[in-house]
Amino acid sequence: MTLSERLRIQEVTTLSDDWYVLKKTTFSFLRSDGTWQKQSRETYDRGNGATILLCDLEQRRVLLTRQFRYPAFVNGHDDLLIEAPAGLLDNAEPEERIKLEVEEETGYRVTDVRQVFDAFMSPGSVTERLHFFVGAYCAADQVSPGGGNAEEGEDIERLEPTIEEALKMVADGVIRDGKTIMLLQYAAMHIFKDHNPTGGADR
């Protein structure tokens, strides 16, 4: 039996359609014991997105951003949030979108990016599926100051810690953004692990 066969949607109400769409759905769900249970859930639909971690292997650095995130602020984070560049797809293909987003936010224009996985980041309430990318960058790739789109309220700073510094920032609670932590851990395990900028594998 498919999941759709276990679901009977009875009512969908739009609660808000301002910035994104918030809906309340009432449905019946067929439980494992064979009984139908009536449930109600709210879903926040902001579209799907993409994020990327750019790596400079020779310098062992990663490209991150710092920006104001009001939801994080009201939940006790009294500082700018450190993140990997990211953005909503807005009907574009994930690879196309993330290349444009990283240039807008950081000023770096990259061409060779690779998707490594995708994930639902908050499946209890948010519909978004996030596509995760990695790619290489160097100083020559910078074509503008970056900073984001001021008309959309963005005021983005750029920082380039080493992978070791970034992982310590995670351990110390300085980096708290989920997507960024996932990408840093991926890079530590799969990109920087065996790379020695002086040549050869680490011993």
**CATH number, domain 49-190, options 3.90.79.10, 3.40.1010.10, 3.40.50.720, 3.30.420.40:** 3.90.79.10
The answer to pTM > 0.95 is: no
Read off the pLDDT band of 199 (50, 70, 90): very low
Statement: residue 77 has pLDDT above 70: yes
Read off the pLDDT band of 201 (50, 70, 90): very low
**pLDDT of the residue at 16:** 97
Domain segments of the chain as ranges: 3-45, 49-190
Mean pLDDT of the chain: 94
**pLDDT of the residue at 202:** 39
CB neighbour burial string for 50-75, b if at least 16 within 10 angstroms, e if fewer: bbbbbbbbeebbbbbbebeeeebeee
Q: What is the pLDDT of residues 86-122, one digit of tens each?
A: 999 999 999 999 999 999 999 999 999 999 999 999 9
Q: What is the pLDDT of residues 114-156, one digit of tens each?
A: 999 999 999 999 999 999 999 999 999 999 999 988 888 889 9
**pLDDT of the residue at 193:** 87
For residues 65 and 67, what is the distance between their CA atoms, to the nearest angstrom? 7
